[in-house]
Amino acid sequence: MEEDRRVRRCAGLFLEAREQQTMDLAGLLGGGEAIRVTQKWFAIAPHLFAEVEVEGSMIETLSSISETRWKPFSEIAAQVGVDRLQRAIDAGLVVAEKSEDPRHARELQARELQWHPLSAVAHMALRWSGVDSIATQNESRIRTTADLVADSGLPPPHFHRREDATNRVLLQRSARESLDALFKRRATCRNFDAGATLSLRSAGAVLERAFGMHGRQEFLPGVVAIKKNHPSGGGLHPLEAYLLMQHVEDLVPGLYHYNVEAHALDLLSAMPAEEARALSLSMVAGQDYFANAHAMIVVAPRFGRSFWKYRRHPKIYRAILLEAGHASQNLYLAATDLGLGAYVTAAINEVEIERAFGLDPLFEGPIAVCGFGPRAETRVTVELDPAERVWDALGNLKSRHGGEAMQ
The 3-state secondary structure of 167-229, one letter per residue = CCCCCCCCCCCHHHHHHHHCCECCCECCCCCECHHHHHHHHHHHHCCCCEEEEECCEEEECCC
User: How many distinct helices (H) and strands (E) make up the chain?
Assistant: 15, 14
Nearest to 203 by CA among 363, 404, 68, 45: 404
**Domain ranges across the chain:** 2-113, 177-374
Element (H, E) at 25: helix 25-29
What pTM did the predictor assign?
0.91
pLDDT score of 192 more than 70: yes
Question: In a 10 Å sphere around its CB, with 0-12 CB exposed, 13-18 middle and 19+ buried, how is residue 387 labelled?
Answer: exposed
Question: Over the stretch 245-254, which tens digit does the pLDDT of each residue have?
Answer: 999 999 999 9
CA distances from 228 to 218, 225, 235, 255 (A): 15, 10, 9, 24
Q: What is the separation of C-alpha 230 from the centre of its chain, rounded to a whole number of angstroms? A: 19
- Least confident range from 27-41, 135-149, 272-286: namely 27-41
Mean pLDDT, the chain, rounded, equals: 92
When pLDDT is cut at 50, 70 and 90, the band that residue 147 belongs to is confident
Residue 406 has pLDDT above 50, yes or no: no
Within 10 angstroms of residue 143's Cβ, the number of other Cβ atoms is: 11
What's 302's DSSP letter? B
Neighbours of 317 (CB within 10 A): 23
Q: SS3 breakdown of the chain: % helix, strand, coil, rounded to 5?
A: 35, 25, 45
Q: Which amino acid is at 224?
A: V
Sheet of strand 368-374: strand arrangement: 264-270, 254-259, 239-245, 295-301, 368-374, 340-345
**Helix 56-63 vs helix 82-90: crossing angle, to nearest 10:** 90
According to the model, what pLDDT value does residue 3 have?
Answer: 54
Single-letter code of the amino acid located at 263: H
Write b or e for each residue in 86-115: b if 16 or more Cβ atoms lie within 10 A of its Cβ, otherwise e: bbbbebbbbbbeebeeebbebbeebbebbb
Q: What is the pLDDT of residues 298-332, one digit of tens each?
A: 999 999 999 999 999 999 999 999 999 999 999 99
pLDDT in tens, 47-85: 999 999 999 999 999 999 999 999 999 999 999 999 999
pLDDT, tens digit (0-9, with 9 covering 90-100), for 327-359: 999 999 999 999 999 999 999 999 999 999 999
The DSSP code sequence of 224-277 is EEE--SS--GGG---EEEEEEESSBTT--SEEEEEETTTTEEEEEEE--HHHHH
> Is it the case that residue 154 has pLDDT exceeding 50?
yes
Given this structure, which CATH class describes domain 177-374? alpha beta
Structural element, H or E, at residue 71: strand 71-72
